[in-house]
Each structure stands twice: as structure tokens, then as C-alpha cells.
Amino acid sequence: MTVLRSGSATDVGRVRRVNQDLPLEASNLFAVADGMGGHVGGEVAAQVAVAALLQVFSREPTKAGLEDAFSKANQAVWQESQDHSELRGMGTTLTAVALVGDAEGRDTLALANVGDSRAYLFSDHHLVQVTADHSLAEERVRHGEISEEEAAVHPQRHILTRALGISTDVETDMWELQLRSGDRIILCSDGLSNELTNEQIADVLGTEPDPQAAAHQLVELANDHGGSDNITVIVVDVLVGEETSAASVITPIGVRAGLPLVVAPESAAGSASGASLTTVATGAAGAASVLAGEYPAGADTDAGPGKLLLDTAQAVPVARATVRSAAVQSQPPLPVAPPNESRGARRRRLGVPRRITFRVVFFIILVAAIPVAVFYAIRWYAYDNWFLAIQDNQIVVKQGHPAGVLWFHPRVVYKTKVTTSEVPSAGAAQIRTLVQEPSLAAAKRYVANLHDEYLNAEAAKQQSQSGVSGGVTTTTLGGPAAVTPGAGTSTTPTTAPATTPTAP
């Protein structure tokens, strides 16, 4: 019978104030979820995934039940995002370890993972990363394209290749763990692994026996190193494990989970530090053969107790041992960096994308063009109008809106040289009220018409005055009219005597 004891700690870090991490501690199930998709979406995704995981696994606490629980959790997060448009695009990582029974009735641990939340095994003061980060940068590390140091600062280190809730289906990495008494399983979000190295994590786990205190110390230490993200840690201690086994065995379930790991203690003659013996074997049969004292082909058979056994044909770093596959191993190694290699050449050799590309330049130009276009659009609207005004008793044409638009004020564009005394009084009054025209030419014509109207009125007035003050002609019947010029002069008609004709 396997007996477990756990402790957990979580913190929102020193920058973020919404906790998108969610731990789960049950009697036989422990998990860490780290949501993504905005503060609200990430928190909801983590809650939905953990609730579905616990509900489904409780009905069937087996390895198959754990895998089915991950599938149901993925569907639950996906459906939640489809039902609520504001949650579209949300997702979450999920790493869980569960106490299950095997075919022979023994207690074993099943481990499952999707995303970049991690699970570690701490055995005999030696820390081994079991899970593999499902991120673009880590994929390149596993393919040997970049180093772990380069992955730590790679621009693609936060881009996940797998997460719950992104699509209707998800592939889950799974392992079966046969652990010994004193072993520890650590589940954590990337807030811890981004801040602390494996050595720093191992130092805390090796000095603090209480799992709750160890979890709190890890969170505090991560905060001291920056704490730029949510930090969640669960430490699970194996109080009673496989006493009959000389080693802790991590067996992958499926090809994608990688190669088996055998973590065995050193003999009493080993080093004083108590560091463990770690063996990477090829296939499940290889792991069993190591426990039986048989070594896989290519291994260092002279290693003996207290030494590191590696399959030289497929040896990989221990921290990444669980993610190598045959397809990856068959790829040729990258060429050795030439001496005095420039930084640009090194980035091209490693395939690191350029920071300044045509798309980046185009995007910058596009972003800069938007405010310029808005400025000219407002300017066009502000000055697409003309109106008449009186300035120093002179009629002028102004361009713009009378009240102005934002910082664009009307401006004088034409002085007509026509004063208010040279237009009809009604026209001047109308100009003072407001006269708007669609163009400068129309405004000029309007002033010219007013001025012509004024001139015509003055000419008619002059002609009328000339008619009143000029001579008046009077015609007298029967004789010529005598006309005396001069204003106010009266004409007296002269009448000729009538002659009566005499009959012959």
C-alpha cells in the first residue's frame, strides 16, 4: 500500500494581481492548472478544468480514468469558451498525479500533463524533470536546435503547442510511476520553473522535510528571484512506497511521453552527498532489465553501484530524458558553431527569427499612418466650408467652420475690397448673421452680386433725381409751345384768335 502526504502553496507574484493558477489536493489526486486567455478567461479555464478532472476521475480512479478525465476537462473548457463569447480563446495547462492500482493490484502513481506546468521527481537528493514543456522553444530544445540557456530567453518560450480548451481534442502525455518511500513528486506552474533552477529546487526539497513548508519556501524563493508570474507548487511525499524495489521507475505510457527512467539509490559506499543513480533505458523492457541487473546495449556495464548508467545510443540530458523519441534521435546533429561567429550568423544558424522583418516594418508604418490619416481627415472636414465675414468694415471670405473644429480655426482666405457701405444694408445685415458658401468662387460671386445690386440701385437713384430736377415741356393746342427752362418755371400758353370762315 502506498501512503502519500502533500503540501501546497500559491502566490500571485509581484506583478500580476489575478491568480490564474489553481491547485488541487485530494486524497488520491493532485493537480496544478495555469490558465491563459486574459485574467478572466484564464481563471475560468483553470477552474473548469480542475472541476471536470476531479469529477471524472472520482468515478474511475485508474490510469484510463485519469486519461479520460483530461479529455473531459479539455471538452469542458472548450464548451465553456464556445458558450460565452467573452471567453473565446481561453485555455489552461494541467499537470496531475493520481494514486491508482495496476493490473496486479499494487498501488502505483499515474502522471498526466498538457502544457508547460511541470512535474519533477525528487529521489535521494536528485531532481529529475519528468514532464516535457509543450512550448515552441522547448520543442526546439528537444530537437537539439537550441540549448536550454537559449530557450530561457527565446521569443517563443511562452507560445504553447498544447493546452486544454484550445480545440475539441487534446493529446495527453502520461507516465506510470513506481516510487519508493522518501521520494517526492513536485507539481508546479511555470511561475516557479521560470525563476528557479533545478539545483535551487533540489536544495529546498533536500533540506525541508515537511511538504507544506517546502512548498512555501519554493514560492518565497521564486518571488525573491523576480516573481513575475503566478506561482503554484504542490509537494507530494511518498511515505510508504515500493520497499521491494531497488529503484524508482518512471514508465511512459505512449511514444510521445518519451523513454523510461530508472532512479536508483547509491550503495552505502557511494558519495557522502547521497546523490542517486539515474539510468535512461530504451523501452519498457530496458527498464525492467536494469532492475534485474541487465544493462541495455551500449550502456556502461562497468559503472557499478553509485555511478551513472546511460544508453550511449540514445543518451539525453536527464531533465529532458522523458521526451526523446526515435524520430528525434534519428535527426542529424546541428553543425558546430564556427569560431568568431557573429550574433546575427548565430541567430540564423539556430533559426531564431529576426526582430526587424518586413512585416514588423510594415506594421510600424501602418500604426504610424493611422494617426496621420485621422489628422488629415479632421483637417479636411474642418476646412471644407467657406463663409462671409466683416473685418474692419471690409467684407472678407473665411475658410472653415464658424465655430472651429478641435484645433482648426477659421482663417481669412480672400479680402474682397468691398466695404459694408458698398452693399445693400440688408445684404450687410445678412453677412453679419451668417452666409455660408460651398466654395471660394461661390463666396466671391455672392459679394460681387451684392456689390452690383448696390451699384444698380445707386444708378437708378441718380437717374430718378435727374428726371425730377430737369426741364418740363408743355404743348399748347393751336400754336407752338413756349418752353422756359429752369426749375419751378411755369409755362403760359398763348391762344391764337379763332377765324370764322366767310361763305363765298
Let me know if residue 315 belongs to a domain: no
The kind and range of the H/E element at 297 are none
What whole-number distance in Å separates Cα of residue 356 and Cα of residue 365?
Answer: 13
Predicted confidence (pLDDT) at residue 472 exceeds the cutoff of 60: no
Any domain includes 428: yes
Cα-based angle 186, 230, 95 (whole degrees, multiple of 5):
40
pLDDT at 260 over 90: no
Q: How far apart are CA 180 and CA 59, in angstroms?
A: 27
Inside any domain, residue 409: yes
Exposure letters 306-320 (e unless 16+ CB within 10 A, then b): beebbbeebbbebbb
**Residue 165 counted as domain residue:** no
Residue in 18, 23, 19 with CA at minimum distance from that of residue 33: 23
Residue with the three cell numbers 473644429: 405
Q: Which domain holds residue 386?
A: 366-462
**d(C-alpha 480, C-alpha 483), whole Å:** 9
Write down how long the chain is: 504
The backbone region for 400, taken as left when phi is positive above 0, alpha when psi lies in -120 to 50, beta otherwise, is left
Work out the pLDDT band at 477, boundaries 50, 70, 90.
very low
In a domain, 267, yes or no: no
In tens, the pLDDT along 234-248 reads: 999 988 776 655 678
**C-alpha count within 13 angstroms, C-beta hemisphere, residue 468:** 6
Rounded to 5°, the CA angle 465-466-470 comes to: 125
Q: Is residue 324 assigned to a domain?
A: no
With a CB cutoff of 8 Å and minimum separation 6, the contacts of 62 are 100, 101, 110
| pLDDT for the residue numbered 246 | 65
**pLDDT score of 303 more than 80:** no
Residue 362 carries which DSSP code? H
Within a domain: 408:
yes
User: At 411, phi and psi to the nearest 5?
Assistant: -135, 150
Q: What is the mean pLDDT of residues 205-210?
A: 92
Q: Where is pLDDT greater, at 53 or 485? A: 53
Does residue 440 contact residue 434 with C-beta atoms inside 8 Å? no
- Please tell me the total count of domains within the chain: 1
The answer as to whether 265 is a domain residue is: no
Q: Record the cell numbers describing residue 272, joined without a space.
A: 557522502
Q: How far is CA 359 from the centre of its chain?
A: 17
Mean pLDDT of the chain: 75
Distance (Å) of CA 399 to CA 49, 370, 402, 414? 64, 26, 9, 9
Please give the pLDDT value at position 102.
72
What is the Cα–Cα distance from 297 to 286, expressed in whole angstroms?
9
pTM above 0.95, yes or no: no
Q: Using pLDDT thresholds of 50, 70 and 90, give the confidence band for residue 3.
A: low
